[in-house]
Every structure is written in C-alpha cells, then in structure tokens.
C-alpha cells in the first residue's frame, strides 16, 4: 500500500485538509508571500488564521488527533481552502463521520422491486449504482450501453481497467478525472472504509492516472453531465446523463442517459432491438453475473 493510502486510512479528514491546503496559492486569499516558502500552497498557520481558529487546533485536525470539528469550524475551513459546494459538503461529512461505523451497500430487496417498474418504463438507457459505483441494476438499454467493455459490474473499474475504455469513451481524460472525484464524493463519510480501501487500492495499482487523481482530493457532483461514446454495435452516441439520487438508500443513484441528437435517438432504436433479442427488460447485478 502506498504511503498516501496509509495516511488516508489514518485520518481521511487530515489528508483531505492537507491536500487541499497545498492547492491554494497565498495570493488567491489576498496574502503576500514573503521570502522563500517551504510548502506548496498555504501554510498551516495561514489556514488557521483564515478559518478563525488556532494554529494548534488546525495542526491537530491535520494530524488526525481531532476528527470532529464543529459546523462553524468546517465552514471557516471551506472558506479558507476555497472549497466549492460539493467539496464543502464532503468536508462536513468527514467531520461528522462515525469512526467505527461503515454503512452497507446492499439495496433492500423490497426497494429494488419498487425501482424495477421505474427503470423498465424509461425509454432511455438507465442504470442503478451504489455509493462505490457498483452497477446494481439496469434496464435493457442500460445493459447494452457499455457493450464490449469489461468490468461492467463497477463503473470506476470499467473506466480504468477495461482495455477498450479510452477508445469507447470519447472524452476519457475528463471522464477519468470526474470519475475519481465522483467516487470520493459518493463515498463521503465512508472514505476510510474497507470497501473503498480495496477498490482504491486495486485501481491505484493498475492505473497511474487514477492514483494521481485520487491524491488530488477533488470532489465532483453533477445533476447533469455530457457523455459521448463510440459504441461497437451502433456507432457514435451523445447523451445528457441525469443523476437522480434515491432518498434513504445509502447513496444509491439512478443514472439516466437522454440522447442529445437525432443520430443518437436512431441508434438507440437499433440498440433497443438488439437488447430485446439478447436480454430481459430489466437485470440486476446478480442476474448479470450469474
């Protein structure tokens, strides 16, 4: 395990603060750098001053000796570190996380049954993912959307480990960066869990791009995103990806892909015909891997 991974498991909050502190230039906060600086970005005392807390308290936060700052403190740190809305929420989740608790990722069978008719009624590709980006279920078009790629049980593994991913996803470099940040945002308060440790470890060993991006501690949340694909069966596809979070579901989301042009709409008709021949209208992760 790399040293940064070990540190992340010791104190997710501390590692996040340290990484983001190093990304803020003094002049961005109206500070005039004086003399030679031994650190990239802000110094600890500068963050403390900007956040309205003592330097000693901030040092304890970075070192993991204090893990549950108040909302007032996290708001001050968000302002000091120039965090956007998603990153600020992530910081608050780290600050309020139970050190011993780890949520489950299983989707209640009754809840899954309730979601089935919704996914099946959609005329566009749709998948259900959990907070670790496991693809829990999909409608027929969703099952066919990433045809030809490997590791389709987990979106992050598919993006970083599938041999054809960089050709399949037209904007792979941007997708890769956003996928890492989305995984961190989705994991939230569970960023130090064993499940995430195993997934991150696998991806970091296999992909230098993932390892570098994960160390940046960026957080990404979007309700709508653009996706362009080179599908092996129906050609070029362009979508607006809509992210719908299910309440009280341990972070499960529906990703629905709405076509942005006539070419994609026509391609989906052809893909739907192929899906009818090759798969049931709705599949779960267990059904696809059995």
In the chain, where are the structural domains located?
Answer: 3-96, 109-289
Query: Residue 114: is it exposed, middle or buried by C-beta count within 10 angstroms (0-12/13-18/19+)?
Result: exposed
Q: What pLDDT is stored for residue 123 in this prediction?
A: 92
pLDDT of residue 47: 94
How many CA atoms within 13 Å lie on the side-chain side of 218? Answer: 17
Question: For position 112, what pLDDT does the model report?
Answer: 78
**Domain 109-289 belongs in CATH node 3.30.360.10:** no
Over 70: is that where the pLDDT of 240 sits? yes
Does pLDDT of 7 surpass 60?
Answer: no
Residue 104, pLDDT above cutoff 60: no
- pTM here is 0.72
CA 284 to chain centre: 21
Greatest extent of the chain over all pairs of C-alpha atoms, in Å: 70
Q: What is the mean pLDDT of residues 179-204?
A: 79
Closest CA to 144 of 284, 290, 272: 272
pLDDT surpasses 70 at 101: no
Looking at residue 6, its pLDDT comes to: 42
Is 80 exceeded by the pLDDT of residue 78? yes
Please, which pLDDT band fits residue 189 given cuts at 50, 70 and 90?
A: low
From CA 169, how far away is CA 228, in angstroms rounded?
6
Matching CATH number, 3-96, of 3.40.50.720, 1.10.260.40, 3.30.420.40, 1.20.58.340: 1.10.260.40
Tracing tokens 């956007």 back to the chain, one arrives at 84
Residue 204 confidence (pLDDT):
92
Range name among 162-171, 220-229, 238-247 with the lowest pLDDT average: 220-229
Structure confidence by residue, pLDDT tens digits, 174-187: 999 999 988 888 76
Residue 282: pLDDT band by 50, 70, 90 thresholds? very low
Mean pLDDT of 266-289: 69
Q: Which residue has the higher pLDDT, 191 or 111?
A: 111
Q: What is the pLDDT of residue 281?
A: 47
Does residue 152 have a pLDDT over 80?
yes
Percent of the chain with pLDDT over 90: 50
Q: What is the mean pLDDT of residues 67-88?
A: 91
Distance from C-alpha of 137 to C-alpha of 254, rounded to nearest angstrom:
9
Please say if the pLDDT value at position 190 is more than 70.
no
Lowest mean pLDDT among 68-72, 95-99, 277-281: 277-281
| Average pLDDT taken over every residue of the chain | 84
Provide the 10 A C-beta neighbour count for residue 188.
18
Give yes or no for residue 267 having a pLDDT over 90.
yes
Binned at pLDDT 50, 70 and 90, residue 139 comes out as: very high
- Domains 3-96 and 109-289 in one fold: no
Q: Are 99 and 249 in contact (CB under 8 A)?
A: no
Each residue's pLDDT tens digit, 27-56: 999 987 666 677 779 999 999 999 999 999
Q: What is the mean pLDDT of residues 262-272?
A: 95
Better-scored residue on pLDDT, 11 or 268 = 268
């Amino acid at each position: 395990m790399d040293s940064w991974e070990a540190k992340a498991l010791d104190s997710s909050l501390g590692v996040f603060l340290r990484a983001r502190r190093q990304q803020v230039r003094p002049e961005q906060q109206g500070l005039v750098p004086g003399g030679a600086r031994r650190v990239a970005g802000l110094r600890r005392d500068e963050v403390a001053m900007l956040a309205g807390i003592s330097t000693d308290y901030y040092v304890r936060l970075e070192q993991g000796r204090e893990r549950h700052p108040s909302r007032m403190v996290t708001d001050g740190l968000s302002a000091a570190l120039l965090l956007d809305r998603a990153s600020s929420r992530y910081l608050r989740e780290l600050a309020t996380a139970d050190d011993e608790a780890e949520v489950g990722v299983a989707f209640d069978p009754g809840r899954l049954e309730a979601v089935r008719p919704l996914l099946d009624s959609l005329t566009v590709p749709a998948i259900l993912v959990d907070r670790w980006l496991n693809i829990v279920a999909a409608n027929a078009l969703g099952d066919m959307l990433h045809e030809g790629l490997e590791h389709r049980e987990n979106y992050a593994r598919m993006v970083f480990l599938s041999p054809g991913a960089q050709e399949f996803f037209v904007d792979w470099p941007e997708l890769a960066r956003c996928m890492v940040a989305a995984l961190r945002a989705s994991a939230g308060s569970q960023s130090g869990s064993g499940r995430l440790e195993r997934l991150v470890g696998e991806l970091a060993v296999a992909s230098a791009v993932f390892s570098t991006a994960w160390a940046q501690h960026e957080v990404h949340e979007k309700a709508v995103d653009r996706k362009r694909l080179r599908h092996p069966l129906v050609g070029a596809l362009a979508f607006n990806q809509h992210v719908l979070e299910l309440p009280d579901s341990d972070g499960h989301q529906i990703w629905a892909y709405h076509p942005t042009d006539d070419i994609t709409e026509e391609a989906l008709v052809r893909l739907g015909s192929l899906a009818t021949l090759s798969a049931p209208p709705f599949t779960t992760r267990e059904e696809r891997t059995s």
